[in-house]
Chain A
């Protein structure tokens, strides 16, 4: 089977975000970049599926040349090929434009299943996978925590309010991945060496740009914090009183 995994390069979750002078971008210096954590679950799920059912995994990313590194990491994990759609300023490009570019590329290839992370941890927009599925006219199941394949039927589970749903659809389909699909494997040295020989194609899409509806990137208001009201069990009575009388939350 042929699986395509959509991945995005994002700042590491430890990153202290600093807003650049133009007020719309983040300062990119001294930021560590990684594969979007949710996309790693998607890569792992894809690799497990081809280990079980045979086939190949292609990684597809819309990003800048900085995104080559996460693609190489994905190849080192075991994916077979990678495609980078190069856009200069991609991080806050509007999600529909991103999805359109990805769908356009996907239409040039044959595949049975597309996987992506449920959301990118920089934009938290949580939609590119679904937008791609709608553009391609295929079913989508979001935020899956496990999946099994039986012929062309996919069965997934996802957490919703109050419990877990079991959901099915037919291939071809797009699934977005949450935690639970399996710990993403670390690329080993052999994988890293082999990755250098695997196809990594670059397609130049030109300049991107921040979505035109974004007027500013700002810091959240500083919340007053840091008030220690006491030590040990003796502080409990005061805490209860403050919650009732000052904070008025109980």
Chain B
């Protein structure tokens, strides 16, 4: 009987999109052991949002709230979660490999003298052995892992696990963080939101991406129109970011973001190894490129050889008919 804890992120009075799959995974693992899947929610608004986790079969949500936990701060949150770990002795603590997850999971691991299994794409429990798989060398290889320790801290790659809905009403329990203002060592003093209201690349279901073939910054309007039709995020190759046409936050690839959308449309992208590293776990890849020898065509589910400035507007038109 193992306790599975998962860290449910929320912002602006909403659960983050990836909480659905995280909760689903936690519920499934707990089901295998006859144990309990408990959501952890920290900060103001936790108790109001906690009932929503019942949609994914979660029977308990532990809320941790205190004035000095109002804003995310690595060490303070890590210590609060560590105090909870001491109290509940979970077998597994799950995070999404989001910005917060990539920051918080290692801090919790350090305080618990263990490591994180980062950005996992597979997870299962066999009795008390935790079976995982995670990409390495930017996805050119996978590590198979069997963890037999008493505590495993895991972050899951976003958009990689199915959501399972099963209605329950969770017990909501408040936990005393045991944290004081002295634990708040890092302070967020500002936040500048991105201009465009598009889905976050790492969470997006559909991404339209532009490479050097776009020819210049103002030419991105062509793929932005397609992205609007599909309610997609817009990505960029490293060449385009290095040329200053698009910000680094848009870069998909080994030194940019790793994405796993349902659909990735690569426009004027040749398909360098480092770019593929960032998007190869896309379920469906469409490639549009003038050069029939472009490496991207080898990984594309559907390839179109042609001028993207002719193909993309036509594709936009055809998709609008269907949507």
Closest residue of B by beta carbon distance from A133: B110
Task: Give CA–CA (A155, B190) in the complex, Å.
Answer: 11
Majority DSSP secondary structure for residues of A touching B: mixed
Task: Give CA–CA (A180, B186) in the complex, Å.
Answer: 21
A249 adjacent to B263 (CB under 8 Å): yes
Task: Give CA–CA (A224, B297) in the complex, Å.
Answer: 11
B144 adjacent to A215 (CB under 8 Å): yes
Task: Give CA–CA (A235, B311) in the complex, Å.
Answer: 8
Chain B 263-298, CB-CB to A under 8 Å as 1, else 0, gives: 100000000011001001001111000001000011
Task: Give CA–CA (A250, B205) in the complex, Å.
Answer: 10
Contact-residue size bin, chain A (C-beta under 8 Å from the other chain) = 35 or more
Interface residue from A164, A227, A237 paired with B301 (Cβ < 8 Å): A227
Closest residue of A by beta carbon distance from B132: A213
Binds A, one of B33-41, B43-51, B62-70, B115-123: B115-123
Interface residue from A94, A164, A225 paired with B191 (Cβ < 8 Å): A164
Interface residue count on the B side (C-beta < 8 Å)? 91
Return chain B residues, CB-CB under 8 Å to A151. Answer: none
Residue A232 interfacial (CB < 8 Å): yes
Interface residue from A19, A94, A143, A239 paired with B102 (Cβ < 8 Å): A143
Chain B 59-82, CB-CB to A under 8 Å as 1, else 0, gives: 000000000000000110010000
B136 adjacent to A134 (CB under 8 Å): no
B145 adjacent to A213 (CB under 8 Å): yes
Return chain B residues, CB-CB under 8 Å to A227. Answer: 300-303
Chain B 119-153, CB-CB to A under 8 Å as 1, else 0, gives: 10000000000000011111111111111110000
B115 adjacent to A125 (CB under 8 Å): yes
Binds A, one of B20-28, B159-167, B171-179, B248-256: B248-256
Interface residue from B118, B149, B249 paired with A126 (Cβ < 8 Å): B118
Tell me, rounded to whole Å, the shortest Cβ–Cβ distance linking B277 to chain A: 8
Interface residue from B78, B140, B194, B307 paired with A162 (Cβ < 8 Å): B194
Chain B 192-207, CB-CB to A under 8 Å as 1, else 0, gives: 1110000010110010
A163 adjacent to B194 (CB under 8 Å): yes
Return chain B residues, CB-CB under 8 Å to A94. Answer: 115
Known: A164-B191, A235-B306. 12 other contacts (CB 8 A): A15-B140, A95-B116, A96-B110, A125-B118, A158-B99, A160-B99, A161-B203, A162-B200, A167-B189, A229-B302, A232-B311, A250-B319
